[in-house]
Amino acid sequence: MLNWVEFVTLLIIVVAAYFSIRVSNLLFAVVALAALSLLLSLEFYLLKAPDVAIAEAGIGAGLTTAIYVLAIYQIEKRDKKK
């Protein structure tokens, strides 16, 4: 039963990684990256590493998403100015 859950989680991680690379809309790519981080933290938890899972959920899904979104906002504003 657990193997099934892990398999689905890994499958969605791969799909999210594909989207985060291939999509042309940067904001969509960042959201896909956040989803990848969140599912990766779930996978860490299933593999009995809750310590790493907390770090991954806090840093990967929380803070880097905020930093990426701020950077994208800045870049789009600069492009409009030119």
Partner 1 sequence: MKSDMSTIVKTVTDFLFGFIIIFGIYIIIHGHLTPGGGFQGGAVVASGFALLFVAFARTFLDKKPQQLYGLFESVGLLIFISLAFLGIYRTFFYNFLANSGGLFGMKITQGINPGYFNTAGVVPLMNMAVGFEVACGLSLIVYLLYRGVIEEGEDGE
Write the CB contacts of 55 (distance below 8 Å, at least 6 apart in sequence): none
User: What does the alpha-carbon distance between residue 52 and residue 9 come to, in Å, rounded to a whole number?
Assistant: 17
Query: Given the structure tokens 């009995």, which residue do they identify?
Result: 48
Identify which range of 7-15, 23-31, 32-40, 70-78 contacts partner 1 by CB under 8 A: 70-78
Site membership for partner 1, residue 25 (CB under 8 A):
no
Q: Which two tokens stand for residue 63?
A: 């803070």
CB under 8 A: which stretch of 6-14, 19-27, 30-38, 46-54 binds partner 1? Answer: 46-54
- Under the binding rule (CB under 8 A), the answer on residue 47 touching partner 1 is no
77 is a contact residue toward partner 1 (CB under 8 A): yes
Q: Rule CB under 8 A: is residue 67 a binding residue for partner 1?
A: yes
Token pair in block for residue 59: 């840093």
